[in-house]
Amino acid sequence: MAKDIDWANLGFGFSEVNCHVQAVWKDGAWGKLELVEKPYITMHIGASCLHYGQECFEGMKAFRQKDGKVAIFRPEENARRMIRTAIRTVMPPVPEEMFVEAAEMAVRENAEFVPPYGTGGSLYMRPLLIGTGPQIGVAPAKEYTFLMMVMPVGAYYKGGLKPVRAVILDDWDRAAPHGMGDVKVGGNYAASLFAHEKAKREGWPVELYLDAKEHKYIEEFSTSNFLGITKDGVYVTPDSHSVLPSITNMSLRQVAEDLGIKVEVRKIPYEEVRELAEVAALGTAVVITPVWEITRGSEVIKISDPEKVSDTLLKLYHTVQGIQYGEIPDTHGWCHTVEV
């Protein structure tokens, strides 16, 4: 029950809420969005998501704002990205309006689980699209399930951004040059788990990937985009077909421009990392994770002070969070308010 939650000590993990939203696609059309209380689904043991990885997901957040309203951050962008992923994995796309309606329903029915303003928490929203029809010959399934599950999560940083160390493990790649790196499929996570666990065991919380073809250019971290700030104060982020187009990165690029920071989306050779003033990992869960050191084989590159976050990263972080919590004017219309 929401009233029993200790908001100040909430982590990032699954917890039960009132319900999730679900719809089924069959006979060529999406059925109605429905509320489902139990956090389980029943599916055929031949379901294509189980056998052939026909599945994709999204991640976004709803925030309790300063004036008490509840707003989802840019759900239309997640809807569009899920449409691109669905097309790439030959699943029926969930129309943008239907996706946003599902998000609104999930927030409205679970409004009591949106952490109070000031706790630094949010309602994490996880849309999922899976092939649930049986398919043993390799082909797209004939039935799909779309669902929107939500859970309250706590402030990732309790007391300021905390820089981490990263590692490049050249023995493993995350995504092939013309593979699925640019869409949000679970398979990309399965592909990176082994290296991720190894990195973690050996003391690095995040791994950074180079392009799979040449191992020459920076791509992204296993679950977040790469941001570099040059010594001249330019925001640089890799241009690559196998990087997932992060909505956090997209938003931060706009915020950077608004703040008068120059933005460059271009190839970043590995060697250039030695010259960068700041590096950070970008994604919905944490927004910005500063990276103070990068290790590759015997080379250890110290980027920045492990104890101190630069003013540029702090300004970017506080601006995006300020917009999300309704403390700063939302000049780009990113907050999608839900009547609760």
Q: Which residues sit at the interface with ligand PLP, rule CB under 6 A?
A: 59, 184, 188, 220, 223-225, 244, 246-249, 282-284
Q: Both ends of the chain: CA-CA distance in Å?
A: 18
Nearer to ligand PLP, 93 or 133 (CB): 93
Instruction: Report, in Å, the least distance between residue 74 CB and ligand PLP.
Output: 9
Structure tokens at 160: 């300021």
DSSP β-bridge partners for residue 63? 71
Taking residue 5's Cβ as centre, other Cβ atoms within 10 Å add up to 18
Let me know the angle formed at the C-alpha of 277 by 61 and 192, rounded to the nearest 5 degrees.
50
Nearer to ligand PLP, 104 or 182 (CB): 182
287-296 vs 164-168, strand pairing mode: parallel
Contact 67, 60 (CB under 8 A): no
Q: Which is nearer to ligand PLP, 5 or 281 (CB)?
A: 281
Looking up tokens 């039935």, which residue turns up? 143
Q: Distance (Å, rounded) from C-alpha 218 to C-alpha 221?
A: 9
Least distance to ligand PLP from the beta carbon of 183, Å? 9
Cα–Cα nearest to 276, from 314, 248, 304, 313: 304
Rounded Cα gap, residues 159 and 292, in angstroms: 18
Cβ at position 220, least distance to ligand PLP in Å? 5
Q: Cβ 283 to ligand PLP, closest distance in Å?
A: 4
Q: Are 10 and 153 in contact (CB under 8 A)?
A: yes
| Shortest Å distance, C-beta 71 to ligand PLP | 16
Amino acid at 285: A
| Least CB distance to ligand PLP at residue 143 (A) | 26
DSSP state of 11: -
Which C-beta is closer to ligand PLP: that of 19 or that of 210? 210
DSSP string computed for 193-226: HHHHHHHHHTT-SEEEEE-TTTS-BEEEESSSEE
Comparing CB distances to ligand PLP, the nearer of 5 and 166 is 166
Report the residue number, 65 or 249, with the smaller CB distance to ligand PLP: 249
- Supply the minimum distance, in Å, between the C-beta of residue 188 and ligand PLP: 6
Nearer to ligand PLP, 211 or 220 (CB): 220
